Amino acid sequence: MTVEVSARRRRDIVDALRRGAVPANGLDALAVGLDRFTSTLDEELDRVAGGGSVFKAVRGEYGAGKTFLTRWLGERAKRRGFAVAEVQVSELETLLHRMETVYRRLVEQLTTEQFAPSALRPVLDGWIFALEEDVLAAGTVAETDADGLDRAVGELLERRLADISRSTPGFAAALRGYRAAIASGDQVTAGGLAAWLGGQPHVAATARRAAGVKGDLDHFGALSFLQGLLTVLRDSGHPGLLLVLDEVETLQRVRSDARDKALNALRQLVDDIYAGRFPGLFLLITGTPAFFDGQQGVQRLAPLAQRLATDFGPEPRWDNPRATQLRLPGFTEAALVQLGIRVREIYGSDRVTDVVGDDYLAELARAVAGRLGGQVGVAPRVYLKKLVADIFDRVDQFADWNPREHYALTLRSDELTEVERNAASADDVDLTL
């Protein structure tokens, strides 16, 4: 397979792998084993873009590729114009039973194809610009009539905010105040109101008074704010929002009362999505099988377990991609080798291709997996880091260097993640290939 990637993206991908990180973009080039999900997930993105909403759960052990899948899907969503936010569920800071913390992190991590986090201010500015363009396109007001244009935009704003005003008058009031502050050049007030719309606490009283809003966001208000944000995204040219709640299995470590509240909040969120309360939302959660199947996770709340129930057979290749849950069985050695071949193509060095053959890629895959206790699913990050930084770079730079003669695989504890250290043996061992 020939990997079609621009030179700049090649450098970004290789540099990220060299550091042991997931590349920020270009993940299609590394998507090994995700082909069976592509058409279904693309159809679901299209459904969301058409005003629908989707809930999906991804299950897999640590190292199975859950984070990679969510970021790969995020790239595909952004190419369709979606906004994307990845929120790490935390037992201390981002609790599902306090949706205001989830909403706050969502806005902080909000990104689009054009703007890095937080993209809220560009989205709000794009929303105001779109209102003006819609008014001018109607042909009832001349562009030179500043007062008439301002009135017409205000009237259109009220019509667009009618539904939000009924459910969350504070959100609508803050949007009006934000537009007025931008129009008058008051950037301080505009910034304060943008922060309030993003769920930030302790916004200056002067900014809140300017829009006539009070207090800070709470759990129930956060869901209404999410509705408002989806409306603003749609009106500013973004057909949907992909929201990823990553590592929801951390709920298993919180106190039982907080866990029960969080599971019920998740159940309510799923019901709201199925009821069509959040048009334009694609919610994706990730967790371990223990979270979905264990008594300290989803099974603790029967209504949630019923909504997420998915029948998995012994053979993953027959899994239904349209089901509520997607199962990631993790990497095999063959998949690791295929990934190594992809990375070798992306690296783009004729000498590397000549010296580092498929047989060596397979030997290194076996060696890294063996060094990590035979857990192939834990191996991809280390395998790719070693492949690029220790082998490809040296082969490319030194004409007389050959990995079979000059390289011994060594894994140090300080270069491993906690999961990788747990998989590895206590002592460092050199493995000569």
What are the structure tokens assigned to 30, written together? 């590394």
Same-domain check for residues 300 and 367: no
Q: Say if residues 289 and 281 touch (Cβ distance below 8 Å).
A: no
Residues lower than pLDDT 70 in the chain: 1-4, 377, 425-433
Domain range spanning residue 406? 333-432
CA distance 328 to 260: 26
Does residue 345 share a domain with residue 309? no
pLDDT value of position 425: 57
CATH number at residue 69: 3.40.50.300
Give the pLDDT score at 4. 65
Total Cβ atoms within 10 A of residue 399: 9
Contacts made by residues 393-396, CB under 8 angstroms, sequence distance 24+: 393/18, 395/349, 395/351, 395/352, 395/355, 395/356, 396/347, 396/349, 396/351, 396/352
The answer to whether 386 and 409 have CB atoms below 8 angstroms apart is yes
State which of 196, 226, 256 marks the end of a domain.
226
Backbone conformation region of residue 235, classed left if phi is above 0, alpha if psi is from -120 to 50, else beta: alpha
The pLDDT value given to residue 430: 46
Q: Tell me: do 143 and 282 sit in the same domain.
A: no
Please answer whether residues 185 and 201 qualify as being in contact, where contact means their C-beta atoms are separated by less than 8 angstroms: no
Task: Among 304, 327, 350, give the residue marking a domain's end.
Answer: 327
Cα(91)–Cα(248) distance, rounded to whole angstroms? 10
For residue 147, the model assigns a pLDDT of: 80
Instruction: Give the model's pLDDT for residue 432.
Output: 46
User: Which backbone phi and psi does 100 adopt, to 5 degrees?
Assistant: -65, -30
Is the peptide bond between 165 and the residue preceding it cis, with omega within 30 degrees of 0? no
pTM here? 0.85
Q: How far apart are CA 159 and CA 153, in angstroms?
A: 10
Is residue 354 assigned to a domain?
yes
pLDDT of residue 381: 85
Residue 428 has what pLDDT? 47
Counted domains in the chain: 3
What pLDDT, on a 0 to 100 scale, did the predictor assign at position 429?
A: 45
Residues 427 and 337 grouped into a single domain: yes
Is residue 222 domain-shared with residue 124, that is, in the same domain? yes
Largest CA distance in the chain: 78
Q: What H or E segment, with its residue span, contains residue 37? A: helix 35-49
